[in-house]
Chains A and B, each alone.
Chain A
């Protein structure tokens, strides 16, 4: 007698399993399928092309009604199983069908996770899992599209969310993706690849909001909008929740089977009941629940073998992902996390938008992320799955399969092999032949000369490496590459190049810089990250989101770390002037928090030393109530403006130096600079405020204000240079501010003003700031603009809760084990 096989769920996994079973053991079972969806087995993966209109439902059917008839399968459509009776060996569906089984396969797939925010149950809020969801989305897109462009918000920037976003965009909707994490598809992509993807989607006019947390879904009878945690409200006619899936294991749990996250199966795909198997996304094998078809297909094959009496074993799978957005090429496979015993090989080609990263362990590929050029994805994946030793291929592995065997092995040889008409500089259309000819005929010996004569690498600069290789080839020993000091070992570029390219290419995030400028590490180091962060803060004040994790601890927590891990707190004391009320407030804080040391600094203010990190917000709260803001004694930014008593009190004073100092400090506080900046204003040439050894100084004289710059009194000692004399206080302010902005825009990270000015020439500073009113005005205006975003007291921000985690331990463990 034929045995009875019952399958719950008619998704892709059991569909594939049956194909194998019918091939291996035709007629062995009498098969009955229950499917909650009222239809046959279709290719769920292809729902995205259906949504975008690139395919129709008919195109994605895997097994049509004829197939079930041909194999004698009873398919109960629209029949959701609600009970498994293991004693009686039967299953029963909600619509009253009961079927007995000898063997049972549970293949209930997963259910989309709906985040439980208010309004999540409103009409118009949809998941993205089956054809009904797609039909519902298309209905809204068509309705609102006719009325002039509907708006869709997709919550979740993973694979599903992005495919939904792309599909809805193609259907004419305005689409915004709201993603909780800092980068999209963070489970499959490292930040560099995520950056490229985000760029590609943004070019397709899909708005992507990262680090965005949904607070509520708004609307009365139908969804009208999405409210985010940060207060933003996005209007919406349709909300798609694509935040994750959960194995559908409830039914199995109720039947008393062992269930963890999914239904637990062994290597034979059997559950804790030997006559019941679980297959597909609902199953959990060796602690893994898979959400992609490839591993499900592998286990489907094993199950088919088992059901036909075989002894195949499923041992788990490594997975690879591709995103199905037309025109976007992206591939990720395996485990691409860094680890001590792993190596990474990174190839970036900014001009072509290519990023490839291979992660190797013990000479074997364990992970791969490819963007732009994914042709070699399957090859790498194959090497990965086979665990092939790649030590022989290592040097050229990253260039791909076609490069192996016979091809030129090192980049220099590759350049040598290029044809004369091969294009080197894409921006300016300069061929190899032209560059070589210019070098030989004009006797060029430096990169700058080549740039001047041919324009090659003079625009975006990304072909600089190629040009240098050509020079080395042409000139041989005679070529001595220009001695720029790289920012750090993560790049060959110097600070100047990096700053120039950030502007020229409009790079606005750290991953963008690292990708476009071909960084050699995936997330930089403690040298380059703070530098890049500063350059971006300076160049895009309104757009760039400061990356606190790339700031040195002092700037991250707005206090100075001390040798014992405590912090010092220095409130601003404008121009060094204080009052009884301020001093009293400081005294109270010192008593209240038992602060061990109170010291008058060399910068005319008071330092409270030895504050515990956890106390910082409370200390600032009290100081804030007394009107204090941060003195930024920790910042690569404006520190102090020292003053003397000036004409208010001093018998020699010529101008109100105290007031001017305070005015300058109030104007410039909060600004970030390449290195710290200290100013002083003295009331007469006796110079009691020591203005002639400051970064910028002002000496008041009878006829006006003498402006000084580029002094030093720390590691080096150097008197200032004179910029010039101006008549009014307003002019003095304008000159000081313009000079500061010029330095902000040009200085290399950690380069004090005196070093910067020496590098570019004192006359150049005078020419631009003193003699060119338009330039001066331009600098001044840009500084003012940037202050709109920078001049926020970081202490009060933190008192009101910003970066709370910084000041609290993650956990406190009261007692260690005995």
Chain B
């Protein structure tokens, strides 16, 4: 994905998210789930399961994947794709991590809306 310009918005610090957990960012375009994995990497995805729009932010995080709380789709945090036999993909968003301070791209947010 390339963006003509990157408009980064601070959303908080990585320590605000539990390890192997997630928090939400509310935007007019819908909720964004921000995940923190066991190894302290962070990922931003649209907070909607490709199956039936389950809130992925509420799932169990393991490795670099999350299990949807509604019907157990396993979604890759890196690609947003459903893993295993399931099909579907959720949008991933660019997230910047500067020494723990996290930023989302506003331009990316407006894309989610579409």
Contacts and interface: CB of A to CB of B under 8 A. Distances in A.
Contacts of A274: none
A281 B60 CA distance: 39
A750 to B, nearest CB: 13
B89 interface: no
Contacts of A338: 37-39, 41, 63-64
Nearest to B34: A810
Interface of A is mostly: loop
B40 interface: yes
A532 B10 CA distance: 36
Contacts of A557: 58
Given A340-B64, A529-B60, A529-B62, A561 B28 contact: no
Contacts of A805: 16-18, 23
Range of interface residues on chain B? 35 or more
B82 interface: no
B98 to A, nearest CB: 10
Contact of A809 (B25, B76, B104): B25
Contacts of B107: 817
Interface string B29-70: 101001001111100000000001111001111111001011
Nearest to A811: B11
Nearest to A190: B39
A407 interface: no
Interface string B8-30: 01111000111111011111110
A815 B19 CA distance: 28
Nearest to A187: B40
Nearest to A525: B62
Nearest to A182: B19
Contacts of B104: 813
B109 A339 contact: no
B74 A526 contact: yes
A818 interface: yes
A808 B21 CA distance: 14
Contacts of A521: 62-63
Contacts of A524: 62
B105 to A, nearest CB: 8
Given A186-B40, A526-B62, A813-B9, A549 B27 contact: no
A337 interface: yes
B26 to A, nearest CB: 5
A443 interface: no
Contacts of A564: 53
A565 B55 contact: yes
A810 B59 CA distance: 16
Q: Which of A523, A550, A818 has the most CB of B within 10 A?
A: A523
B39 A337 contact: yes
Contact of B29 (A191, A340, A529, A816): A816
A339 B78 contact: yes
B57 to A, nearest CB: 9
B78 A813 contact: no
B63 A553 contact: no
A565 B58 contact: yes
Contacts of B62: 521, 523-526, 529
Nearest to B81: A340
Nearest to B41: A337
B113 interface: yes
A549 B18 contact: yes
A565 B40 contact: no
B69 A525 contact: no
Nearest to A548: B18
B44 to A, nearest CB: 10
A530 interface: yes
A523 B36 CA distance: 13
A339 B65 CA distance: 10
B58 A561 contact: yes
A261 B34 CA distance: 26
A525 B7 contact: no
A147 interface: no
B69 A552 contact: yes
A575 to B, nearest CB: 31
B25 A811 contact: yes
A29 interface: no
A522 B11 contact: no
A521 B24 CA distance: 27
B16 A817 contact: no
B34 to A, nearest CB: 6
A581 interface: no
Interface in A764-818: 805, 808-818
Interface in A532-577: 548-554, 557, 561, 563-565
Nearest to A549: B20
Interface in B63-108: 63-64, 67, 69-70, 72, 74, 76, 78-79, 99, 104, 106-107
A548 B18 CA distance: 10
Nearest to B62: A525
Nearest to A567: B58
A336 interface: yes
A810 B12 contact: yes
A818 B79 contact: no
A644 B54 CA distance: 38
Nearest to B23: A810
Given A338-B64, A563-B52, A563-B70, A816 B27 contact: yes
B79 A340 contact: yes
**Residue among A524, A525, A563, A816 with the highest chain B CB neighbour number at 10 A:** A816
Most buried by B among A338, A808, A813: A813
A340 B43 CA distance: 12
Contacts of A525: 62-63, 67
Interface string A500-536: 0000000000000000000001111110011000000
Contacts of A548: 18
Contact of B60 (A261, A337, A552, A808): A552
Interface in A653-697: none
8 contacts: A186-B40, A338-B41, A522-B63, A526-B60, A549-B19, A549-B60, A805-B23, A813-B104
Closest 5 CB pairs of A and B: A526-B67, A810-B23, A340-B78, A817-B106, A811-B11
Interface of B: 7, 9-12, 16-21, 23-29, 31, 34, 37-41, 52-55, 58-64, 67, 69-70, 72, 74, 76, 78-79, 99, 104, 106-107, 109-110, 113
Given A338-B41, A529-B62, A816-B27, 4 more contacts: A261-B99, A549-B61, A552-B69, A557-B58
